[in-house]
Amino acid sequence: MTSAKIIIDKNEYEFPLITGTEQERAIDISSLYAQTGCITLDNGFQNTGACASAITYIDGDKGILRYRGFDITELAEKLTFVETAYLLIYGTLPTIDQKSVFSRHLTENSMLHEDMTHYFVGMPPHAHPMAILCAMVNSLSIFYPHSFIDDDNPAVFDLIAARLISMIRTIAAFSYKKSIGEPFVYPRHDLRYCMNFLNMMFSSPVKPYECDQEAERVLNKLLILHADHEQNCSTSTVRLVGSSMVNLYASVCAGICALWGPLHGGANQEVIEMLEDIHRKGHSVQDVIAMAKDKNNSFRLFGFGHRVYKNYDPRAKILKDACSSFLSGRSMNDPLLDIALELEELVLRDEYFIERKLYPNVDFYSGILYRALGIPASMFTVMFAIGRMPGWIAQWREMHDTKPFRIGRPRQVYVGSAHRSLP
């Protein structure tokens, strides 16, 4: 069947059925208003596709996640974050030469304009790193004003993409140094992407950072797992803002703002604070689960549930294993991991969660790994943003390449006052 029929007031209308690579189907309602005078209404866009995309595929029922057709488990095991970023943005695995050029672009664009460091002077030490990230990423368009995509000169896009992927890492590390009152550690040209970040975070004039290959491997895995996730809240924001033809810096800055929300990327910080509460205040896991089920209580079990996954989030599975192996490999014992494992075990057996298909999502275990790396909870969503940057850029580029290019402008059903005159 290649079409869908809708009957309104006894009139029958036909609309094409679109079938995706994995046989998922959509009703193309592009002509709905023109044909019927009706629009659709879909709170939270639960049933609405905003675009056709070739970047990421999720099967929520089977717990499948693929970037450009490659399964996330394979990518997390075999690729680096830089290779994954290239794959997402350019659609193919980089050749040796392409990887060398891309890495060089990242290296050459890792330093912030020195005047940007003065921004940090005026910021209070307790400033949330996500607020700093929003301010600094948007400010990149002040220092690098030639930021409009020139289709005749793809090198402009390549440069802006490399600048964002590289500099978000520097901004994040500088915000951490600012918060602990230590001098900034500048990026180095001799370190790979993740090791450079760890060095900027944990090196100091009195104690240089000892490069830790295992930590570098775990950080690569964390960033790969966060790199893209089809049309989630922040990526949809980047696409919508980008559709006004504003520059890429402003578009991803809007994505950073959307990601900050506790229902989205901010959940990883909420999870750790929830686990710390249980640990420090002696709350029982059962009490927390009861609160989450209580309709009179606004408390949510952060790190559980997902709009698309109605099965175990494949990223959570990878992170759960990584937590156990990384911590045991260092003979580290984090009581929060024990609480998380107990919480997961009880939730997966609880009818309320089973009925609603609520499973651990990417945010449930990620914070435990970030903690083990020495990264503070206030930085967790910033880490999510560093990982998601290549996905936002890839989706923004795909949106720009979609013809005919159209500004995103949803409709509404008006339910306010009928026409009335001023008294």
Contact between 304 and ligand SDX (CB under 6 A)?
A: yes
- For position 387 contacting ligand SDX by CB under 6 A, the verdict is no
Select the span of 76-84, 94-102, 121-129, 354-362 touching ligand SDX (CB under 6 A). 354-362
Q: How far is the CB of 222 from ligand SDX (least distance, A)?
A: 12
Q: Which of 72, 136, 256, 301 touches ligand SDX by CB under 6 A?
A: 301
Please report how close the Cβ of residue 380 comes to ligand SDX at its closest, in angstroms: 12
- Integer CA distances (angstroms), 220 to 102, 166, 383, in order: 16, 14, 11
Q: Which stretch binds ligand SDX (CB under 6 A): 70-78, 244-252, 355-363, 395-403?
A: 355-363
Instruction: Please say which residue, 102 or 380, places its beta carbon nearer to ligand SDX.
Output: 380
Q: How far is the CB of 150 from ligand SDX (least distance, A)?
A: 30
CB 279 within 8 Å of CB 339: yes
Q: Which range of residues in 131-139, 239-247, 299-307, 397-405 is near ligand SDX by CB under 6 A?
A: 299-307
What Rg do the C-alpha atoms of the chain give, in angstroms?
23
Q: Is 317 in the site for ligand SDX (CB under 6 A)?
A: no
Active site residues per annotation? 306, 363
Q: With respect to ligand SDX, which residue has the nearer C-beta, 306 or 397?
A: 306
129 vs 265, beta carbon nearer ligand SDX: 265
307 binds ligand SDX (CB under 6 A): yes
CA-to-CA distance for 143 and 146, rounded, in angstroms? 9
Residue closer to ligand SDX by CB (options 185, 362) is 362
Using CB under 6 A as the binding rule, whether residue 381 contacts ligand SDX is answered as: no
Give the shortest CB-264-to-ligand SDX separation in angstroms.
4
Q: Is 84 in the site for ligand SDX (CB under 6 A)?
A: no
**16: region left, alpha or beta (phi > 0 left; psi from -120 to 50 alpha):** beta
Preceding omega of 154 cis (within 30 degrees of 0)? no
Instruction: Report 42-71 residues binding ligand SDX (CB under 6 A).
Output: 44
* Nearest partner of 270 among 388, 384, 364, judged by Cα: 364
DSSP string across 397-414: HHHHHSSS----------
| 178-237: contacts with ligand SDX (CB under 6 A) | 229, 232
Query: Residue 267: CB partners within 8 Å, gap ≥ 6?
Result: 302, 303, 361, 363
In order of 29, 90, 246, 364, the CA distances from 403 in angstroms are 17, 18, 17, 38
Minimum distance from residue 305 beta carbon to ligand SDX (Å): 2
Which stretch of DSSP H or E encloses residue 66? strand 64-67
Question: 232 with 267: CB under 8 angstroms?
Answer: no
Which residue in 177, 306, 371, 397 binds ligand SDX (CB under 6 A)?
A: 306
Residue 247 CA to its chain's centroid (Å): 19
Nearest distance from C-beta of residue 332 to ligand SDX, angstroms: 25
With respect to ligand SDX, which residue has the nearer C-beta, 221 or 306? Answer: 306
Q: Name the token pair of 301.
A: 């079990």
Q: Which residue, 308 or 341, has its beta carbon nearer to ligand SDX?
A: 308
Confirm or reject binding of residue 344 to ligand SDX (CB under 6 A).
Answer: no
Residue 46 per-residue DSSP state: T
128 binds ligand SDX (CB under 6 A): no
Comparing every residue's Cβ against ligand SDX, the nearest one is 305
Name the CA dihedral angle for 201, 202, 203, 207, rounded to a multiple of 10 degrees: 160
**Binding segment toward ligand SDX, per CB under 6 A, in 68-76, 356-364, 399-407, 408-416:** 356-364
DSSP 306: -
For residues 240-269, which are near ligand SDX according to CB under 6 A? 263-265, 267
Burial class (CB in 10 A: 0-12, 13-18, 19+), 274: buried
Measured at the alpha carbon of residue 197, what is the angle toward residues 195 and 202, in degrees to the nearest 5? 95
**Considering CB under 6 A, how many residues would be counted as binding ligand SDX?**
22
Interface positions with ligand SDX (CB under 6 A):
44, 229, 232, 263-265, 267, 292, 300-308, 356, 358, 361-363
